[in-house]
Structure 1
Amino acid sequence: MADMLFPIELEGAGTCDVESLASYVYRVAYEHGIFVGELLRHINKQTSALTHLDTEAQPVPAFLKPAEMVRNNRSSAAIQGALEKLTGLELSQSRLLFMTSDIGRSPNEVAPGFRWCPECMSEWQALGQQPFFKLIWHLSAITHCPSHRTELISKCAFCSCKQTGYIRKRAIGFCQQCGRHLGTRNPDKLAPEIARSWEMKGADVHQFFVDMAQQPFTAELEGGIWRSLRDLFDHYWGNGKELELYQAFPRDEWISLYHKQKPVSFSTARRLCYGLGIDLYTLISGSAINSTQVLSQKWLCELPAGFCERKSRQKRNHDAIQSKLRRYLDPCVRPRPMKEVAAELNVSVGYLEYRYPTAVSALVKRHQSMIVAQRQRTREKALNSALQYFTNSSYSGYPKSRKQAYLCLREETGLPKFLLKGAIGEVYSALYSS
């Protein structure tokens, strides 16, 4: 059987901040104490024997740039499939799967190397979280961190190392050349540019990742963008409002897209959404005809007074909340449900999930592990009590029946009814089955 790899979890799985496949490959190589090239050759060797009869199987390349690992191509699919076989984990979220044959990739759509937000890196270090490179950081449209609004960087602030080398001497959160933490700002350089919230470039792309995390991209979305374009064109044309449609997007381009004479790149999809006033996920999923953009303005009515009054925004000390949140990650502290943690910090669960997604994921996993362990201990207690009833001399005066065992142990242990009955049934069957 092929040598398995350690099942290292994909960071940020199930969120818009999911780790990229390139980051995962580099991190797995470091955790196994080998270089990236050695890891790629190893997984190719281990999986080639399993796929030697598959003539269409793509071998894992010995070298692949980070940008090529996250694109939707045969090489990145081969790496993903090989890692899934050797780790037993699901890694499909780590690639730009929405860039299919329907949604193409225009030049420079994917950044050439790694990019990161120093504030995110610093925050993870303060919370004791595993650093990684997010998939969304690979898209050139995202120039600033959606959480901190600071400009993303692609080189170490001290030695200009791009972090793309296959020789991994240090953990992914540290510069592979000078050893400084990637979350450290160089005091000799200008302060980072902070984007205004109303001018955030790539906000539509970030929202697209949020929507995909809530409703994962699947094969059912194949062809969705063509369905949206056809439905929108037919709707406007049928209502004699094609001129409004041409104001949002040039007529000739509409005609070529409608007849599939022109491929739709991701940048073209963004232009369409901007002109039509709909979001990317609605367009790509094929649901554009159901958006409010196609409703008649005559259906609108006046809102009652006070219906849309703005509430004053509550200002929070993010550093203080981060410091308090760090205490709950201490192994010595009993795991708590997220609702209790949020209530004690006087914030909402949504706030914590937005600002500290990896910390929230770690807290949830710890709490779930504690619940599983508690259930296991309760079950072991029930089995032990049942075994004592049928074998211990202290119960020799009681009839050895399952009903009597339940009546006796229910009062003594106070364990749940069905758990206790199940344990008694297991022990009885093991001792008295012929």
Structure 2
Amino acid sequence: MNDSSQENTASRKSLAEHPSDSSAEAEKRRQYVAANRDRIREMNRLWRAEHLERARQINRDSERRAAARRHREAEVRARGRERAKRWREVHPDRRREYQQQWMEENRAKVREYYNRYYEAHRDEVNARAAVRRDADPDRTKQISKEWADRNKERRAELQRIRRSDPETYQSELEVNAAARRLKRSLSRAGLPPKRLHPTTAAERRVDEREADAYFHDQSRPEHLRQFTVFAESLTEHMLKNGARMHEFAEAYVENRARMGLPQLPVENIVYARAVELVVERMHRVDLLTSRDVAAAVRSTKTEVRRAERQQQFDRLVKTVVAQVQRNSARYAVDAEVENRARTHHGKPRVSVESLVVQRAMEEVIERMPTSSLTIEDGRSATRAAKIRIAASRQALPDTAHDRIRRRAVG
């Protein structure tokens, strides 16, 4: 044992006394490897072919040691991060002070970091800034106003730079002159001035995001298809079964009243039941929302009112024409009496056709439903009835002539 330790000590002493020998040997080895790369590679290949299992074992041991080393290094780094995190939590003031001090001492470096990051992530930085401004528009407006108050000279300089371009300056003058001319023209015509709602950049960005979300929604076509089918089916159902649905709703309301329950509008019950029936018949309604259902109900109500109004209008015109045809002699006498009375009082005469239709309209309108018609609809019905009566009277001689001619031919 003593001999071996003495030998080791002697060898270490010789290395310490002659350090250049090891470096010289290493240099010789590097030169040899550089000069004999192909030979060394071939020798390694031959050795690996002869000792394949040994080579694999060496590789496995090497990978195992490397994995263990990486694991130890990761644990050391994790413990370091944990210690640093605990220290920051315990000493927030010192951490903040250190950061501020470092930034004060390295302003140029910080500015360089910021500029480099901004150049590499310009769009992301601008998007985050826009979101931050849009989140609090009042605060953004206040900051802009404060900046403008602090930098009046800077603003004036920017405006002078902008107006230094002759084309830009001339275009601004033309726009201002056109606005003044429009204002004077509206004032002379007695019209109110033109009013524009100024839209902020934040509002425009919100509108753009909503538009993108709407038009790029993959389910939008199916959603629109379901809404269209639902609205058309609801309208068709109400036009076909509206009367029966109203009878059911009225009976339901009366039953609730007898039971002492609160009253409900009949129309609400009608459309609630209609929506339920239409939904049961449809294959897919999974994309429809309450707003879609409400919009379809409003559309159906409008269409039902229009159809009811048209039916009342057509029925009124048809009834007036039939009334005139049945009582034409009496109406002609009444019209003649009316014209004589008007002449006696110094008023101009009115055509017999107008008086006849007017008298028939007064008699018919009292016993017909006209709840959906307006005064203008009544006037339109009068004109339509006059046209139909005139057309029927013109067709009578031709019909009689045809009848006589057929009789002669026979």
Settle same-fold status: TM greater than 0.5: no
Q: Choose 1 or 2 for highest CA Rg.
A: 2
When the two structures are superposed, what TM-score results if normalisation uses the length of structure 1? 0.22
More helix by share: 2
Structure scoring higher RCO (CA < 8 A, sep ≥ 6) equals 1
